[in-house]
Amino acid sequence: MRNPAFTRRMVTSLTVAGCLIPLAFVAYRTLTGTLGANPISNLTNRTGLWSLRLLLATLAVTPLRRLSGWTWLMPARRILGLFAFFYGLLHLVVYLALNQAFSATLILGDLSRPFIIAGYLSFTLMVPLAATSTMGAMRALGPRWQLLHRLIYAVAILAVLHYLLLVKIDFQPPEAYGALLVLLLSYRIGASLRRRIAGPVSRHAQTRTTQTSGQSPQRSD
């Protein structure tokens, strides 16, 4: 791209606009009373699904950039991650406020259900990721920032598990999201293994080159 600053602004603006579309749609359906026969369940499911979708989209940015060479995608990654947290927060608030009416008895009673535990754990792990998404946090944490943000893999696994344990009849949607997550994680693991293998090979080749360069003058004497 000839103007990186303009491209970054465009990608950022379009990503934010795209992430707000589901919220606008849900708000419209809520205000017009067209969320269906069970609006609370519909609202809970929609916010949760968009959190999961944006979480997977966040994980897809790096592989897509590496495979396509589209470096302009990178500004979208942070925004997608923050909106995944935002929809996850909405999902939790709808569940606590509308499903459970902030009743401690109901909320604690639900903790015996495995899908609830997986959901709570997934959201809890998202909190430090959202809180440290700024450039200031990156600079303050240094190398630890990247280590901390690997929690996104655990977040995604728990989110898919939350969805899979929730459904009782149609398992195809959560299985499809799970398959996509496996694909994305497989790419990450493969890329990491290739870097680990290439590292020693590269160092060994450098050593051989240095040794050869050092011997050349002796042969010419």
Render 144-159 in DSSP notation, one character per residue: HHHHHTTHHHHHHHHH
- Residue 69 tokens, joined: 């060479």
Question: Any idea which of 5-14, 54-63, 131-140, 191-200 has the lowest mean pLDDT?
Answer: 191-200
Contact (CB, 8 A) for 156 and 59: yes
Q: What does the alpha-carbon distance between residue 89 and residue 91 come to, in Å, rounded to a whole number?
A: 5
Contact (CB, 8 A) for 156 and 129: no
Q: Measuring CA to CA, how many Å separate 135 from each of 77, 102, 131?
A: 14, 35, 11
Q: Measuring CA to CA, how many Å separate 86 from each of 23, 160, 198, 214?
A: 10, 17, 39, 59
Task: Identify the pLDDT of residue 215.
Answer: 47
Q: What are the pLDDT digits (tens) for 76-98? A: 999 999 999 999 999 999 999 99
pLDDT band at residue 216 using 50, 70 and 90 as cut-offs = very low
Task: Identify the pLDDT of residue 209.
Answer: 53
Q: How far is CA 102 from the centre of its chain?
A: 28
Position 214, amino acid: G
By CB neighbour count within 10 A (0-12 exposed, 13-18 middle, 19+ buried), where does 164 fall? middle
Task: Identify the pLDDT of residue 103.
Answer: 96
Task: Identify the pLDDT of residue 168.
Answer: 86
Task: Identify the pLDDT of residue 214.
Answer: 53
Task: Identify the pLDDT of residue 3.
Answer: 78
Residue 208 pLDDT exceeds 70: no
> Once rounded to an integer, what is the mean pLDDT over residues 49-54?
98
Q: What are the pLDDT digits (tens) for 155-178? A: 999 999 999 999 988 899 999 999
Task: Identify the pLDDT of residue 203.
Answer: 54
By CB neighbour count within 10 A (0-12 exposed, 13-18 middle, 19+ buried), where does 144 fall? exposed
- Residue 149 tokens, joined: 């943000």
Residue 138 pLDDT exceeds 50: yes
Q: What are the pLDDT digits (tens) for 175-204? A: 999 999 999 999 999 988 888 887 665 555
Residue 111 pLDDT exceeds 70: yes
> Once rounded to an integer, what is the mean pLDDT over residues 195-215?
59
Q: What does the alpha-carbon distance between residue 187 and residue 189 come to, in Å, rounded to a whole number?
A: 6
What is the b/e burial string over 206-218, where b = at least 16 CB atoms within 10 angstroms of the residue's CB?
eeeeeeeeeeeee
Q: What does the alpha-carbon distance between residue 63 and residue 165 come to, in Å, rounded to a whole number?
A: 28
Q: Which residue has the higher pLDDT, 185 or 208?
A: 185
Instruction: Give the end-to-end CA distance of the chain in Å, rounded to a whole number.
Output: 52
